[in-house]
């Protein structure tokens, strides 16, 4: 089939019949829901840029398996250039959509499983890698969107999976059969899953002896029998059903990634789609590889979004008539400084990447964690400065319906106007965009996506080679231990 266009991607979804609930009702089709439509549009951009002359080299690659040209979102990184192009591609997509475009988790899951299955086969003489390669070629040849599924509900965080009173709080194998396995449980915060083609499931954490039933990885279509998607609420999501445009802020592409709670109610997985089943010793490797790949991303996608936000903030300053003030220029400069600092960390971890035994390339894990950890701090500061410059009106504006009401329209146009030559509507539009991009859902995703700050701090201690640092200090200090 080859690479899909954005329109072909949208058409391909119509053949799938996932069970999706939203606002307490099962949807006949995801295309019937105006809340989901923007997320489809955002994901479609990952297909669109593969055909644009100015972005084609970033968004495509050559498959090392087939030699065919493929979408980069189905590619296994083969060199440092691949890692850097990935980050650059994410920034471009952020600039084009102003939101999450959802395919990153699946890409990172494919790369993590590529190496993990390779290592399992080498050590355990299994056939997981062979099966995974067949699956990967299937994904590449059809250019499918894969939803990476890692995060379990976890229940009581003080207990391991096997210690939970309700074991379903970690997705697990409940039965092994001749032709496959039966699994039960759920995955939380599933970005873009309702408008994906496939689900790629991975363990959520390191496991140990006794946790074998939770050490499971597999891939299935999103509409597999027994899979139920419950679409999550987002900030101001009811505005999308009002048939308006301005109040939504980013009507075409929406806010964040359209997350869902995905339930697996005794779902059958054929053995050819199972890539881990009981190998607890390799769960930590898979989580480690995935987390590093995914943390590499954030200085790419979030800086693309920040580019849009900086532009919106500058517009707000111009419409307010304060853009030439020295303190405004200074704050804009700080937004730029923070944005480029975030980007530099993602580029650095990519440039310092190296080849794994599987042949796949891997970003520097310490720098990848630095990249994500900076996001959890700098994005909040970028948002704060944007709010500071734009002003309080972004939180208190009348609705779009009021702007269309003949009786009061004139008041809004009069009193929400800034500088003389800019209509009030323009000022309202840019205010709504800032509100959309800096609201609650966006902030929480920046903090907890790819792991909370504490997860990165743990990795700092593991990856920073403290023994070497002590040795360097002793040498310079002249400390010779006997």
Using CB atoms within 10 A of its CB, is residue 322 exposed (0-12), middle (13-18) or buried (19+)?
middle
Neighbouring-strand partners of residue 219: 200
Catalytic hit among 37, 45, 213, 259: 259
CA gap 229, 234 in Å, rounded: 15
294 is catalytic: yes
CA gap 364, 472 in Å, rounded: 22
How far CA 116 is from CA of 64, 220, 359, 386, in Å, comes to 18, 19, 12, 42
- Output b/e per residue, 433-464; b: 16+ Cβ within 10 A: bbbbbbbebbbebbeebbbebeebeebeeebe
| 3-state DSSP assignment of residue 33 | coil
Catalytic hit among 114, 298, 319, 361: 298
CB-based contacts of 178-181 (< 8 A; 24+ apart in sequence): 179/270, 179/271, 180/268, 180/269, 180/270, 180/271, 180/273, 180/274, 181/216, 181/218, 181/268, 181/269, 181/271, 181/274, 181/277
277 is catalytic: no
CA gap 350, 296 in Å, rounded: 7
Ramachandran category for residue 125: left, alpha or beta (phi over 0 → left; psi -120 to 50 → alpha): left
- Cβ contact 61:263 at 8 Å: no
Catalytic hit among 191, 262, 292, 303: 191
253 is catalytic: no
298 is catalytic: yes
Catalytic hit among 55, 97, 119, 301: 301
| 3-state DSSP assignment of residue 245 | coil
- Cβ contact 317:310 at 8 Å: no
- Cα 366 to chain center, whole Å? 20
What is the DSSP pairing of strand 146-149 with strand 198-201? parallel
Closest CA to 212 of 280, 111, 262: 280
Q: Which residue has the tokens 């970028």?
A: 382
Catalytic hit among 104, 114, 119, 253: 104
445 is catalytic: yes
22 is catalytic: no
- Cα 2 to chain center, whole Å? 24
Angle at 147 between CA 143 and CA 148, to 5 degrees: 120
Which positions are catalytic?
Answer: 100, 104, 191, 259, 294, 298, 301, 445
């Amino acid at each position: 089939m080859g690479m899909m266009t954005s329109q072909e991607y949208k058409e391909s979804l119509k053949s799938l019949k996932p069970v999706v609930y939203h606002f307490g009702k099962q949807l006949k089709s995801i295309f019937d829901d105006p809340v989901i439509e923007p997320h489809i549009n955002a994901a479609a951009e990952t297909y669109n840029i593969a055909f644009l002359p100015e972005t084609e080299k970033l968004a495509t690659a050559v498959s090392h398996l087939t030699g065919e040209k493929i979408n980069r979102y189905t590619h296994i990184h083969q060199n440092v250039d691949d890692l850097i192009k990935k980050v650059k591609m994410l920034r471009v997509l952020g600039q084009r959509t102003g939101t999450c475009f959802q395919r990153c988790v699946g890409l990172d899951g494919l790369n993590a499983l590529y190496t993990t299955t390779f290592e399992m086969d080498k050590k355990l003489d299994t056939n997981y890698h062979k099966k995974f390669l067949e699956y990967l070629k299937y994904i590449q040849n059809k250019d499918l969107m894969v939803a990476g599924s890692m995060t379990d509900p976890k229940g009581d965080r003080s207990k391991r999976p096997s210690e939970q009173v309700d074991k379903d709080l970690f997705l697990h194998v409940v039965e092994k059969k001749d032709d496959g396995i039966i699994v039960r449980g759920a995955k939380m915060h599933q970005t873009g899953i309702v408008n994906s083609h496939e689900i790629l499931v991975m363990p959520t954490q390191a496991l140990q002896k006794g946790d074998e039933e939770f050490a499971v990885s597999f891939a299935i279509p999103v509409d597999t029998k027994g899979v139920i998607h419950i679409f999550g609420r987002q900030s101001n999501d009811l505005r999308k059903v009002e048939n308006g445009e301005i109040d939504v802020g980013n009507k075409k592409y929406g806010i964040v990634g359209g997350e869902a709670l995905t339930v697996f109610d005794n779902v059958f997985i054929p053995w050819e789609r199972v890539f881990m089943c009981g190998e607890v010793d390799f769960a930590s490797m898979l989580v480690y590889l995935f987390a590093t790949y995914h943390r590499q991303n954030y200085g790419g996608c979030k800086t693309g979004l920040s580019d849009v936000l900086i532009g919106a903030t500058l517009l707000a300053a111009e419409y307010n008539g304060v853009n030439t003030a020295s303190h405004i220029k200074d704050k804009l400069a700080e937004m730029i400084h923070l944005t480029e600092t975030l980007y530099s960390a993602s580029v650095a971890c990519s440039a310092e990447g190296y080849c794994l035994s599987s042949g796949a390339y891997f970003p520097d894990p310490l720098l990848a964690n630095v990249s994500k950890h900076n996001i959890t701090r700098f994005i909040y500061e970028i948002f704060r400065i944007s709010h500071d410059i734009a002003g309080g009106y972004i939180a208190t504006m009348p609705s779009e319906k009021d702007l269309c009401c003949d009786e009061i329209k004139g008041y809004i146009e009069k009193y929400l106007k800034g500088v003389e030559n800019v209509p009030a509507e323009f000022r309202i539009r840019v205010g709504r965009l800032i509100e959309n991009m800096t609201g609650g859902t966006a902030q929480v995703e920046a903090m907890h996506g790819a792991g909370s700050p504490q997860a990165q701090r743990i990795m700092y201690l593991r990856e920073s080679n403290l023994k070497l640092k002590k040795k360097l200090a002793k040498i310079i200090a002249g400390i010779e231990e006997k």
